[in-house]
Amino acid sequence: MSSNFDGNGVTRPRWLFPFGVVAALFFIGAQAAGLLLSAPERDMGHLQKILYVHVPAAWAAIIAFLVVLIASVLYLWKRQPKHDLLAASAAEVGVLLIGMALALGSIWGRPTWGIWWTWEPRLTTTAIMLLIYAGYLALRAFTEDEERRARWSAAVGIMAFINVPIVYMAPRWWRTIHQVQSTPGTVDPNYVLSLRLNAFAFLFLLTFLIGLRYHIARLEHARRERLEEHALAGGEIHV
């Protein structure tokens, strides 16, 4: 497999850690604004504050899966390992976030709907989405050959995205207990600012986490390549 890493190492993206600090501070501020400044909602009371973590986590997960799709297409087109590594990094972060969104929705659903879980269309399609992308990560873990893993993963990464618009549109297409998508157009104006702030907070956090995970993937990939080079050269190596 050809390498896209030059020389003896991997360049550290200089923006990553300063951006991480800014993202963390913005996240703390946005969460504090959502928790402390938003008034109780007429029906839900303070439970509406859970939406400032549940909804942005779901949005961020969908963006992560969009990154998986784009990087997978780029890999099949250009056959560069960096696109495969980016897709895998985004998938891992996306699985974490969509798993979190499901758990947070469940915590909100118990006092609001009276149940932790129900097999209605939005929840079911989201659970299927979680399983598909978890399967994508499992496929990567069980395939040793790097090029084959990248090719198969790219194919799964593209097909998996078919479910994403179905998840998004489920409350409009079917009768569901879940309310329609929470957007500035469907949310009470009193809660739009906090929702927007937290949407950007999760977007920044998502960017940092994918960037960090991608950097780790590049370091580990570079190490494997170095080990292969040493093995072919018959040299000893200290690891």
Residues found near other proteins in the complex (CB under 8 A): 7-12, 31, 35, 44-47, 49-50, 53-54, 57, 96, 100, 103-104, 107-108, 110-111, 205, 209, 212-213, 215-216, 219-220, 222-223, 226-227, 230, 237-239
Which residues share a beta bridge with 45?
Answer: 41
3-state secondary structure of 170: helix
- The overall longest dimension of the chain from CA atoms, in Å, is 72
Of the pair 104, 150, the CB lying nearest other proteins is at: 104
Residue 199 CB, shortest distance to other proteins, in Å, is: 14
Of 88, 159, 172, 154, the C-alpha closest to 128 is 159
Listed in sequence order, the DSSP H helices in 37-120 are 51-78, 81-113
3-state secondary structure of 45: strand
Residue 181 CB, shortest distance to other proteins, in Å, is: 19
In whole angstroms, give the CA distance from residue 68 to residue 146.
Answer: 17
Of the pair 16, 70, the CB lying nearest other proteins is at: 16
Residue 160 CB, shortest distance to other proteins, in Å, is: 21
Residue 190 CB, shortest distance to other proteins, in Å, is: 17
In whole angstroms, give the CA distance from residue 112 to residue 89.
Answer: 35
Of the pair 30, 154, the CB lying nearest other proteins is at: 30
Residue 159 CB, shortest distance to other proteins, in Å, is: 26
In whole angstroms, give the CA distance from residue 82 to residue 89.
Answer: 10
Take residue 56 and report the two structure tokens written for it: 């942005």
Residue 92 CB, shortest distance to other proteins, in Å, is: 9
Of the pair 232, 239, the CB lying nearest other proteins is at: 239
Angle 106-94-105 from CA coordinates, rounded to 5°: 10
Of the pair 127, 155, the CB lying nearest other proteins is at: 127
Take residue 178 and report the two structure tokens written for it: 């879940």
Residue 155 CB, shortest distance to other proteins, in Å, is: 27
Of the pair 138, 227, the CB lying nearest other proteins is at: 227
- Would you give the distance in Å from CA 190 to the centre of its chain? 28
Of the pair 159, 216, the CB lying nearest other proteins is at: 216
Of 56, 153, 136, the C-alpha closest to 95 is 136
